[in-house]
């Protein structure tokens, strides 16, 4: 069963046991409820199905390996080229080992830079070579000012199908209100499953930092504890009635609901749309 459910060790008023222990005891009982799995199954998968998660450095350094592929990368917003394209960077200054890739917006929505420059972005889209005439033809774009794109000619560009804020768990736990109602993409380490549809996502264990409770829909991919993953979904305040309504929480006894509310009731929760592994 679960060995390290939560770092919080405050006492349960009724039992006198640490709260994490109380949750563990409740879940040990729940594991034998008919219809519930004894442990979370590891169902490996990627999201979206036709996308691979790779580093921005790989695209910038060896673009020919990815032309024509749909990929997902994470990086930092540097600056806009115009209202339809921006530069995504990773790894610091370009002259000191950093990398940069141009992103052209094909999402149908305007791209708004993060208000907090320390919050990264996740971009999913097709890797192409910057050939203005071909991109105009293939996507029906008429917004190009050729003079702005001369320096990017023949370089890699990602035609973005989706762009999302990509905070880390500690940024969410430190200031959750700025993310409420937003669909985001969070990278972290899967600490443990509390039950088959609730898990704790934490900052890289070597770096330390915060964690966030993630609630999964039944159809979500599942991976093993200890894996580095990205979770996409919406951040909300923890309200049990909303969890029941939107997730159809099954197998959560009144005692379990009370314990979760006591442990996480003042913290943010993420309602996951999907979970996928980070590629090597």
CATH code of residue 229? 2.40.50.140
Residues 188 and 206 in one domain: yes
- Identify the pLDDT of residue 205: 56
Cα 161 from chain centroid? Answer: 16
Tell me how far apart the alpha carbons of residues 91 and 152 are, in angstroms, rounded to a whole number: 20
In this prediction, residue 223 carries a pLDDT of: 76
Distance CA 6, CA 251 (A): 21
Does 115 lie in the same domain as 24?
no
In this prediction, residue 138 carries a pLDDT of 87
Q: List, run by run, the mean pLDDT of 10-residue segments along the chain (280 residues).
A: 28 40 41 30 36 82 93 92 90 59 91 87 94 86 80 92 91 90 89 82 69 81 79 89 73 79 87 76
In a domain, 14, yes or no: no
Question: Looking at 134, 165, 196, which one is the last position of a domain?
Answer: 165
Domain for residue 44, yes or no?
no
Q: Is 26 a domain residue?
A: yes
Residues 56 and 36: beta-carbon distance below 8 Å: no
> Residue 65 has what pLDDT?
94
Instruction: Give the count of beta carbons closer than 10 Å to the beta carbon of residue 219.
Output: 7
Burial readout 156-193 (b: 16 or more C-beta within 10 A, e: otherwise): bbbbbbbbbbbbbbbbbbeebebbeeeebbbbbbbbbb
Token pair belonging to 238: 């923890």
Clarify whether residues 262 and 219 are in a common domain.
yes
- Give the per-residue pLDDT at 209: 63
Residue where one domain finishes, among candidates 129, 144, 165: 165
Q: Are residues 28 and 57 in the same domain?
A: no
**Sign of the Cα pseudo-torsion (208, 264, 191, 20, in order):** positive
206 CB-side CA count, 13 A: 1
Burial status of residue 267 (CB atoms within 10 A of its CB: 0-12, 13-18, 19 or more): middle
Direct distance between the N- and C-terminal alpha carbons of the chain, in angstroms, rounded to an integer: 28
In this structure, are 130 and 202 located in the same domain? no
Last residue of a domain, one of 114, 140, 165: 165
Residue 219 to residues 184, 196, 247, Cα–Cα distance (Å): 19, 11, 11
Residue 91 confidence (pLDDT)? 64
| Domain shared by 179 and 148, yes or no | no
Query: Same structural domain for residues 56 and 160?
Result: yes
d(CA 178, CA 172): 8
Torsion 123-126-132-133 (CA) sign: negative
Could you tell me if 216 and 252 lie in one domain? Answer: yes
Asked whether residue 150 falls in the same domain as residue 76, the answer is: yes
Instruction: Please give the residue range of the domain that contains residue 197.
Output: 19-39+168-277
Residue 179 domain-assigned (yes or no): yes
Handedness of CA 275, 48, 234, 79 (dihedral sign): positive
What are the start-end ranges of the H helices in 64-159? Answer: 132-139, 146-149
Residue 13 placed within a domain: no
Residues 148 and 112 in one domain: yes
Comparing C-alpha atoms, which of 42, 101, 37 is closest to residue 71?
Answer: 101
Q: Same domain for 96 and 130?
A: yes
Rounded Cα distance between 145 and 227, Å, is 44
Instruction: Please tell me whether residues 35 and 173 are part of one structural domain.
Output: yes
Domain count, the chain: 2
Report if residue 192 sits inside a domain. Answer: yes
What is residue 142's predicted lDDT score, i.e. its pLDDT? 77
2, part of any domain: no
Residue 261's contacts (CB-CB under 8 Å, 6 or more residues apart) are 238, 240
Cβ 273 vs Cβ 52: under 8 Å? no
pLDDT for the residue 163: 92
Q: What's residue 251's pLDDT? A: 62
Q: Which residues of 17-43 are buried (b: 16+ CB within 10 A; e: fewer)?
A: ebbbebbbbbbeebbeeeeeeeebeee
- Any idea which residue has 């969070």 for tokens? 186
């Amino acid at each position: 069963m679960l060995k390290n459910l939560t770092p919080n060790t405050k006492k349960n008023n009724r039992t006198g046991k640490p709260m994490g222990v109380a949750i563990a005891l409740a879940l040990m009982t729940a594991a034998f409820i008919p219809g519930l799995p004894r442990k979370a199954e590891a169902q490996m998968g990627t999201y979206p199905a036709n996308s691979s998660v790779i580093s921005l450095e790989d695209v910038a350094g060896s673009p020919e390996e990815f032309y024509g592929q749909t990929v997902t990368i994470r990086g930092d917003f540097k600056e806009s080229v115009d209202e339809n394209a921006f530069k995504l960077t990773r790894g610091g200054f370009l002259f000191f080992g950093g990398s940069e890739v141009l992103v052209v917006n094909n999402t149908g929505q305007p791209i708004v830079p993060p208000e907090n420059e320390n919050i990264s972005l996740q971009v999913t889209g097709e890797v192409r070579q910057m050939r203005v005439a071909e991109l105009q033809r293939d996507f029906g774009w008429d917004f190009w000012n050729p003079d702005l794109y001369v320096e990017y000619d023949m370089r890699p560009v990602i035609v973005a199908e989706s762009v999302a804020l990509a905070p880390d768990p500690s940024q969410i736990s430190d200031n959750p209100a700025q993310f409420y109602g937003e669909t985001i993409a969070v990278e972290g380490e899967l600490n443990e499953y509390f039950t088959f549809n609730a898990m704790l996502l934490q900052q890289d264990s070597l770096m330390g930092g915060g964690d966030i409770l993630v609630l999964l829909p039944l159809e979500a991919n599942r991976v093993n504890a200890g894996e580095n993953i990205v979770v996409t979904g919406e951040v909300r305040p923890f309200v049990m009635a909303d969890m029941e309504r939107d997730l159809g929480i099954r197998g959560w006894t009144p005692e379990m609901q009370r314990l979760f509310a006591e442990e996480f009731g003042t913290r943010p929760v993420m309602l996951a749309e999907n979970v996928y592994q980070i590629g090597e």
